[in-house]
Chain A
């Protein structure tokens, strides 16, 4: 039997690679790549008990950045928000995966917050290292966005049967290390997951990638293995990060990892430059290297479908 819902889903699958078997979909600059599409279409259709929903990931807005790589990071953030508002299916909420600001200044936080208010959507935040630069090392971020959070700003919430976990891996970083979650947060995570059934879909978001992308540039989290171990028993885990200002993705077991583009400036691909940092590209190319990530969730399927789109019209 084919219901309208199933038809919808088939149409959906036709234009995107479904992640039913642990694949991800990405559109970059109009080009699409698909993984496991045939396999996904062949998968038995299940009646979804809950209507599909989506949320949007914004990352690395660096409000206040005004260097040659992007003389006005406020303007490109505004464009990213316009892009969200123009989405045909409006998301239920937005997550911001950190580096909201360039220097943790009040006016930078203010502007980011005001610009996002324009969407009328709830926003869930985690800090990046650029949001920890006030004299008290993150108090400014917490005062603004940290209500109801634990420690340096971690928390979790549920939305339509999906459990969302916001982690902080930019606090109290150790010399010579990379990102760091710390014992207290890992203990909290263990307790947070303890009572949940393994069939609960999980979305984890944090600023620095929770898998090592490039250790030489610090692009990883020292104690992420401990967190991933706690998540291993769950059937569907999606990890969303920022920090590196470019898309990378991989699937390991039942965990799908994805990093988002920045809305401010690109960074070089790992190892292709002497160091990370703002990558100056020709002005006409900048918008094709900035973007947003739209995440669609259909209950009954293993994984979220992620659609990356750039700021080019």
Chain B
């Protein structure tokens, strides 16, 4: 009897623990990595300079009737060609300053500044 109770309480404890773990996981999911958006309109990256925290995923969306690309000056990332409405996302894991441009219209430039 005593032994049975102990077993039960162990099981209950395990249940509580796993419930807590699930809660923690769901909390983590809710606190998704930060995100930022850059729109491409009128042959311009808006905004041309964006400051984000490390771990931020930046998503570019092309709003022009002409295709563009998003290409890091140092080659760290390179989108496929983005037609109207297409998106490209990149997660900036480390701090630093990341210049990029459109390889079709290289006068279009932008910078993502990543802070720790």
Chain A: interface residue total (CB-CB under 8 A): 26
For B69, give the chain A residue with the smallest CB separation: A133
The 8 Å CB contact of B65, one of A104, A130, A218, A277, is A277
The 8 Å CB contact of B67, one of A68, A69, A103, is A103
Which of B73, B81, B100 has the most chain A CB atoms closer than 10 A to its own CB? B81
For A173, give the chain B residue with the smallest CB separation: B106
Does the CB pair B65–A278 fall under 8 Å? Answer: yes
Which residues on the A side are within 8 Å of B101 (C-beta)?
175-176
The answer to whether residues A67 and B65 also contact, given A135-B80, A176-B107 and a CB cut-off of 8 A, is: yes
The 8 Å CB contact of B81, one of A133, A175, A275, is A133
Q: Does B42 contact A (CB under 8 A)?
A: yes
Task: Scan B35-69; emit 1 where CB is below 8 A from any A CB, else 0.
Answer: 00000001110000000000000000000111100
Does the CB pair A217–B43 fall under 8 Å? Answer: yes
Distance A67 CA – B67 CA, assembled complex (angstroms): 12
Does the CB pair A174–B43 fall under 8 Å? Answer: no
Which residues on the B side are within 8 Å of A177 (C-beta)?
106-107
Q: Does A182 contact B (CB under 8 A)?
A: no
Which of B66, B80, B100, B109 has the most chain A CB atoms closer than 10 A to its own CB? B66
Distance A103 CA – B44 CA, assembled complex (angstroms): 20
Distance A102 CA – B67 CA, assembled complex (angstroms): 8
Which residues on the B side are within 8 Å of A275 (C-beta)?
42-44, 64
Which residues on the B side are within 8 Å of A217 (C-beta)?
43, 107
Q: Does A181 contact B (CB under 8 A)?
A: no
Does the CB pair A218–B106 fall under 8 Å? Answer: yes
Distance A135 CA – B80 CA, assembled complex (angstroms): 7
Does the CB pair A103–B106 fall under 8 Å? Answer: no
Interfacial residues of chain A within 267-295, with CB under 8 A of chain B in the complex: 274-278
Task: Scan B69-83; emit 1 where CB is below 8 A from any A CB, else 0.
Answer: 000010000001101
19 extra interface residue pairs, beta carbon distance < 8 Å, beyond A216-B107, A218-B105: A102-B67, A103-B67, A103-B83, A130-B67, A130-B104, A133-B67, A133-B81, A174-B106, A175-B73, A177-B106, A178-B106, A178-B107, A215-B107, A217-B107, A218-B107, A218-B108, A275-B43, A275-B64, A277-B64
Closest 4 pairs (CB-CB, A-B): A275-B42, A218-B107, A175-B101, A275-B43
Residues of A within 8 A of B (CB): 67-69, 102-104, 129-130, 132-133, 135, 173-178, 215-218, 274-278
Residues of B within 8 A of A (CB): 42-44, 64-67, 73, 80-81, 83-84, 99-101, 103-109
> Can you pick out 6 interface pairs between chain A and chain B where the beta carbons lie within 8 Å of each other?
A103-B81, A173-B104, A175-B73, A176-B109, A178-B107, A275-B44
